Amino acid sequence: MIDVDTLVHARWVIPVAPRATVLERHAVAITNGRIVGVAPSAEAGQLYRATDVQTFDDHALTPGLVNCHTHAAMALLRGIGDDLPLMRWLKDRIWPLEAALISADFVHDGGQLAALEMLRSGTTTCSDMYFYPDASLRALRSLGMRAVAGIVAIEFPTAYAADAEDYLRKGLATRDLWRGDPLVSFTLAPHAPYTVADQTLKRIAVLAEEIDLPIHTHVHETEDEISESIAKYGCRPLERLDRLGIVSERLIAVHAVHLNPHEVQLLAQRGASVAHCPASNLKLGSGLAPVAKLLAAGVNVAIGTDGAASNNRIDMMAEVRLAALLAKGVAHDASAFSAQEALESATLGGARALGLDRRIGSIEIGKEADLVAFELSSVETQPLYDVVSQIVYAAGREHVSNVWIAGKPVVRKRHVVADSDGSLEKTLLASVSAWQNRCRQVLLTSGAV
């Protein structure tokens, strides 16, 4: 027999790769945080001797969900700018609040609030784009999450940095600080073409090659963004990014709502990924991304929640269902973005975009054991004919019972392990209340409410 740390038996194991595979009554063997075996449960007991054996008779086991785009700290701004279009939302609410309140403490508290929500909905990896990335990493890692921090670049000053060069310098210093944590990685994160100058974008394109990082940026989110780019630069934003060397296999194009056929093909030819954030796009009135066309062209599509300020939920389960349904409606094709494809986008697709697909995103031998167990015995998930469809179309975050990251339990029986006694949540909610009062005061003083 082979000694292993953990053996997880489940009614169904959905490895994601190979696609359209569902393994019934299988077990996953884990040692040192990695998957070392996947075998029928009847055989696994003969093959492996585990220190910890867990059995989930009414559960499906999937890879951990990868939130490919969010602003974790903006959980503290949930609901504060509802029912406003993007630029009014930014200029009248978000930017004034950030100018008044942004700090390492704000980012840390908002990051912990977001992490609790994400873990409970099966998200094991969070790709964050925000100021004070060290504070964000401390928050996410304090609860056990795998974190990808954006090295933000933007031209205007904040409390965090003075200019684009300062943002990059501080972000790179944070990367050096966290080199020793195997669950932390980075992206280069220029905010958007309309907030980042050519010189900065050129530098980021070169830097990405030098230090081997993805480039994570908002692009083609609104029609106004495109018309303003044409007026200022004589071309659409994606064309400008391509001229500056940004559009490559490293690019994670966040939103990518307004794409013409040439741009879809450009993303495919360059090997770029799209981080699709359907709830945020709908809530801000930005539009509907052409997901079916992207997939047909061979573009890797990942899924992100965006921040709670423009979504209100940091819930990948809700996002996956919405993404699958919207793709069908936009394409007028019920077969577009199938349940299998949607689950793959939320797991392996996100890992691929972030350059982590050799480590996570599927249940395969050699990969790190980021796993989610969905309990499917409740009224809302019965009867059950197709387990993948049931997860995507019927289940929700309330069905997530257990979560593991690199083989370590982080959610057990719907309770976050790092807060087993509830004391962290209690303290955090007191801090959230204080931030809420400060946000209200800023808006009252500015005349925004």
**CATH numbers and ranges of domains, the chain:** 2-63+368-413 (2.30.40.10), 65-353 (3.20.20.140)
Sheet holding 415-416, edge to edge: 34-40, 23-31, 2-13, 48-63, 371-375, 400-405, 408-412, 415-416
Rounded CA-CA distance 444/425 in Å is 28
User: Which tokens is 401 given?
Assistant: 């019972």
Rounded CA-CA distance 374/122 in Å is 9
204 near 248, Cβ under 8 Å? no
Which parts of the chain have pLDDT scores under 70? 447-449
pLDDT at 85: 85
Question: 232: number of CA atoms within 13 Å, CB side?
Answer: 15
Rounded CA-CA distance 443/167 in Å is 27
pLDDT at 447: 66
Nearest alpha-carbon partner for 30 in 375, 406, 357, 403: 406
**What is the enclosing helix (H) or strand (E) of 301?**
strand 300-303
Helices (H), ranges, 381-422? 387-389
pLDDT at 449: 56
pLDDT at 291: 98
Query: Which of helix, strand or coil describes residue 446?
Result: helix
Rounded CA-CA distance 300/348 in Å is 10
